[in-house]
Structure 1
Amino acid sequence: MPRGHPVVLANGSEWPNKRSAENHFRSMRDRWPRNVVIDAADDHDDLCALLERYDETITTGPSKIGCGVDHFVTRENFVHGGISIGFWVIRTDRSETDFSFIDAVAGLPRNTDAQFVEACRESVFPELTAAKEAFFRTHGDVTGQVPCAVTGHLISFAAARVDHAPKTLRDLAWEFRLREGWGSAIPDGIISRPLDAQLETTFVDMNAMVRFTAFHRTHATLRMVSKSVLRSRLLATRAALVRLPVVMS
């Protein structure tokens, strides 16, 4: 029996180990004809969550998700004189790219690029919390609820979360890196080094943190969404109207 750590995706799909997850997506790939839209809801949602995992752990540079996900297909890829079958994502602006489901499942390496995004997320958490509180104070109805930006259904404070759109926090972190001249690598001394029992990465260069939070405040747009919205709907609507300003904490 295969052993290993569970693979858990952001949509809640879970497998006991990487081999089981790989087999799931390999079977999915093989049962869909080439260049046919993968329109089964569960398959589409699993692929959206898998692509999020890829972006969070693998990609250096702009995200594979880009402006948002319209659909997925399988295609033949010609690599080193041979042919392989892989998944392709077609975005809402009709641009497209391929990605490795094997790499996405592996989720490795959790490299400096991913750690930098985590440090950026930690640095703006107080402002996102303040923005959420301000939005509910301003837009809440008599029951204290606001409409979800994706579904339109009323949601409570506890059932809501702040979502970056159309650009994700990861996109903003990358743009900030380019502005700082860190496109090829994060300089030493900017974020904390991995340590035993360290649960998150943070900025250790406080000037860099201040610059990023200011950049985020200027460039981020946010929306209020239900925590229960399918990942596929979130990714498909990233270019939708946003209504939530970033506010000072």
Structure 2
Amino acid sequence: MARENVTIGTLSFKFTKDAKQLFREMLGRYRNSQDLNEEDSEHLRYLLERHPEAQEKIGCGIKRFCKAPTDQGTSCFWLEREDGSTTDFSYITCVDSKRKSLYQEFAEACREAVREELQKAKKNHFEAHGDSDGKLVCEMSREKIAPYESHLDHKKPMTFQVIVRTFIAANCIDIKSEMLSIAGDAQFVTTFVDKDMEKRFQDYHRGVADLRIIKPRANLSLGGSERITKSKNPVRLKVKNGA
């Protein structure tokens, strides 16, 4: 079997079978009608983005995940949307996804739309608030970290995933391939062809993002237990007047 690296959010696997085993074991840990905990739910959010019908499955936004039976006498993952509607989905279908879903492509274009602004904000923040060695205190571990060993984190509850989802829901966006760049030579990321959409996301992101400097992967050490509090030293994005 050829090696196929699979990345699902913060999880990495050498083979698709390893990813399937993890989610199969996750499903097995729950009783029918039992809600998933916050950490497992976050992994499922990333997993669901791989589904060929991700946008339709997610709909107006996900309220919760649970395990429930199917008409075939088996059990699978289900989700309840913010409007109370429900649907099931197969973790196998998600893992086996051969290409990015339109939802994933859209999210990638969103991230690329704000990449340069985030890089500049991080650089300016270190220059303005760093100590004599150019270091800042990680908001989670309280260690002093340099720019090269730091991560600009979208703080809960408005993680980048949530920002993308709420932007789609607030603007009633029906994602179309025509909105996005077509893959070509030397093009490694998806971008917006629709520049109005790109600007709208940049403005929305600027208005809701709560950014902080942390040590890479420091937020993973708490799993889903992190309390939602104000950032101690938030990274500011400049509001562009008349833009």
Confirm or deny: 8 A CA contact 1:48 1:231 kept in the other structure.
no
**Structure 2 stretches of 5 or more lacking a match?**
80-86
1:211 aligned partner, one-letter code: R
1:212 to 201, 206, 228: 201
Alignment map for 1:159-174 (pairs within 5 Å):
159-165=149-155, 166-174=157-165
Q: CA deviation at 1:225?
A: 1.5
Could you tell me which residue of structure 1 aligns to residue 83 of structure 2? none
Could you tell me which residue of structure 2 aligns to residue 140 of structure 1? 130
Confirm or deny: 8 A CA contact 1:54 1:103 kept in the other structure.
no
Could you tell me which residue of structure 1 aligns to residue 237 of structure 2? 246
Q: How many residues in Structure 1 have an aligned counterpart in Structure 2?
A: 225
Could you tell me which residue of structure 2 aligns to residue 6 of structure 1? 5
Could you tell me which residue of structure 1 aligns to residue 73 of structure 2? 82
Confirm or deny: 8 A CA contact 2:109 2:190 kept in the other structure.
yes
**Which whole-Å deviations, capped at 9, do the CAs of 1:92-138 have from their partners, x for residues lacking one?**
xxxxx987543443356522211111111111011111211122123
| Aligned-CA RMSD value | 3.8
Q: Distance in 2 between matches of 1:229 and 1:193?
A: 35
Alignment map for 1:82-231 (pairs within 5 Å):
82-84=73-75, 100-107=90-97, 110-165=100-155, 166-182=157-173, 184-186=174-176, 188=178, 190-195=179-184, 198-229=187-218, 231=220
Alignment map for 1:14-93 (pairs within 5 Å):
14-15=13-14, 17-27=15-25, 29-30=27-28, 32=29, 34=31, 47=40, 50-51=43-44, 53-58=46-51, 59-60=54-55, 61=58, 77-80=68-71, 82-84=73-75
Residue identity over aligned pairs, in percent, reads 27
2:70 aligned partner, one-letter code: V
Structure of greater relative contact order (alpha carbons < 8 Å, 6+ residues apart)? 1
Confirm or deny: 8 A CA contact 2:76 2:90 kept in the other structure.
no
Q: Distance in 2 between matches of 1:179 and 1:156?
A: 37
Three-state SS of the structure 2 residue aligned to 1:120 is helix
2:4 aligned partner, one-letter code: H
Q: 1:136 to 1:231 in 2, by over 3 A?
A: same
Q: Distance in 1 between matches of 2:190 and 2:212?
A: 25
1:241 aligned partner, one-letter code: K
Q: 1:101 to 1:155 in 2, by over 3 A?
A: farther
TM-score after normalising by structure 1: 0.70
Q: Distance in 2 between matches of 1:178 and 1:28?
A: 29
Q: CA deviation at 1:170?
A: 2.8
Q: 1:179 to 1:199 in 2, by over 3 A?
A: same
